Amino acid sequence: MKAVVCKNAELAVVERPEPVPGKGQVLLSVLRCGICGSDLHVRHHCSHMGNLLTRIGYKNSLRAEEEIVFGHEFCGEILEHGPGTTRKQRAGTRVAVVPVTRQADNIELLGLSALAPGAYAERILVDENMMMPIPNGLHEDQAALTEPLAVALHAVNRAEVKQGDVAIVIGCGPVGLGVICMLKAKGVRTVVASDFSAGRRALAKNCGADLVIDPKDESPYANWQQYGHIASFGGLLELAVDTRERLGKLPLPWWHVWRIAEGLGLKPKRPVIFECVGVPGILQTILDGAPLFSRVVVAGVCMQEDRIEPALGIHKEIDLRFVMGYSPLEYRDALHMIAEGKVSCAFMVTGMVGLDGVANAFAALGDPEEQAKILIDPRSANLQPT
């Protein structure tokens, strides 16, 4: 069968042996597969990624000289069941798949392992347990967005954001757009989105952002006063002293009233900021600009070493939270939210290519004005994303 392999940073369309389902496995015909930012990164920094995973105690086969078939954001149609499967989903069923597979002594990441080829191919082997039927006749273009939207859902869940909080999304690539979609699906009323690219700002608007900002002209935190945030250390001191002075005028002991107020949740408002850029320097920019008490959720994957000035975060009492991946439950939730029309994510898709167009698609994704999410349809003859 035809597949795209990456070896020594080169992408090539090759013939590979027909995959045969083993125990617990199912053979799928790939319907759509998204090109992920991590694919773009791993192409050039494969060994770096492999070494990082080794450092966190994960055995892996990510080495530049290995042949890797990328593709972990996909949906497919069941062709054949392997031995030991339940066959609850029959041949012909369209499924979305959590991209992990249990092998002899390790769980491999589909599409990010030389031992578990991904969906930049005509066919793919998956674990039966990781498949979920695509509900409601959902179109495969949107079903293939389940994986990136599960990442976004996990980030939003980890953020513990409430509907009345102000959410500020820094960077409107596929991760940022997914986060905007999920914030709106969760009923967050005020979502501010910031990106230097006019094309991506337009996509952010389509995904439901209430206010889109060009950081060249304006700070994404500029409306702090309107939103009731505290923007300066002086403002914090003012709040503390003013509250004490006001409560002192009451006939009750001020400390009782203060404690009761805190118990009722009357605390300074905090915006929730999603970092969806992932380049060196962005965390420092956020620490510099963010209002006091901001919760910063880091979803952008910066692979280089970076510098921050911790004293900035300390004087603003900023929460820094890192997020990764999702659970199978979050994956299922994302799939059903898309299928039930709770998430308007169709706008994220900006192009489609066949397997022969993958290298061109990687090049095109370098331009944020033109492309956000490109899907691969192995049956398509498109050489350029359209």
Interacting residues with Zn ion (CB under 5 A): 36, 38
Q: How far is the CB of 72 from Zn ion (least distance, A)?
A: 6
**Tokens representing 35?**
């090109």
**Angle CA(362)–CA(367)–CA(368) in degrees, nearest 5?**
115
Q: For Zn ion, which is the closer residue by CB, 6 or 318?
A: 6
Sign for the CA dihedral angle at 373, 378, 380, 383 comes to: positive
- Give the pairing type, strands 349-353 and 319-322: unpaired
Nearest to 325 by CA among 151, 198, 156, 173: 151
Q: For Zn ion, which is the closer residue by CB, 268 or 325?
A: 325
Q: For Zn ion, which is the closer residue by CB, 29 or 38?
A: 38
Q: How far is the CB of 238 from Zn ion (least distance, A)?
A: 44
Q: For Zn ion, which is the closer residue by CB, 36 or 179?
A: 36
Q: How far is the CB of 61 from Zn ion (least distance, A)?
A: 18
Q: For Zn ion, which is the closer residue by CB, 36 or 100?
A: 36
Q: For Zn ion, which is the closer residue by CB, 152 or 287?
A: 152
CA–CA gap between residue 380 and residue 377 (Å, rounded): 5
**Tokens representing 199?**
């094309």
User: Which residue number has the CB closest to Zn ion?
Assistant: 36
Q: How far is the CB of 73 from Zn ion (least distance, A)?
A: 6
In terms of phi and psi (left: phi > 0; alpha: psi -120 to 50; beta: otherwise), the region of 31 is alpha
367: number of CA atoms within 13 Å, CB side? 10
Nearest to 212 by CA among 226, 230, 199: 199
Q: For Zn ion, which is the closer residue by CB, 24 or 118?
A: 118
Which residue intervals of the chain are DSSP H helices?
37-55, 140-143, 146-159, 174-185, 198-206, 224-227, 233-248, 254-263, 282-289, 310-315, 328-339, 358-364
Q: How far is the CB of 41 from Zn ion (least distance, A)?
A: 10
Q: How far is the CB of 29 from Zn ion (least distance, A)?
A: 21
Q: For Zn ion, which is the closer residue by CB, 224 or 326?
A: 326
Q: What are phi and psi of 107, to 5 degrees?
A: -100, 120
Paired residues of 296 in beta bridges: 273, 320
Q: How far is the CB of 35 from Zn ion (least distance, A)?
A: 9
Q: How far is the CB of 104 from Zn ion (least distance, A)?
A: 25
CA–CA gap between residue 381 and residue 353 (Å, rounded): 7
Paired residues of 352 in beta bridges: 375
Q: For Zn ion, which is the closer residue by CB, 119 or 230?
A: 119
Q: How far is the CB of 338 from Zn ion (least distance, A)?
A: 16
CA–CA gap between residue 106 and residue 118 (Å, rounded): 17
Amino acid at residue number 361: A
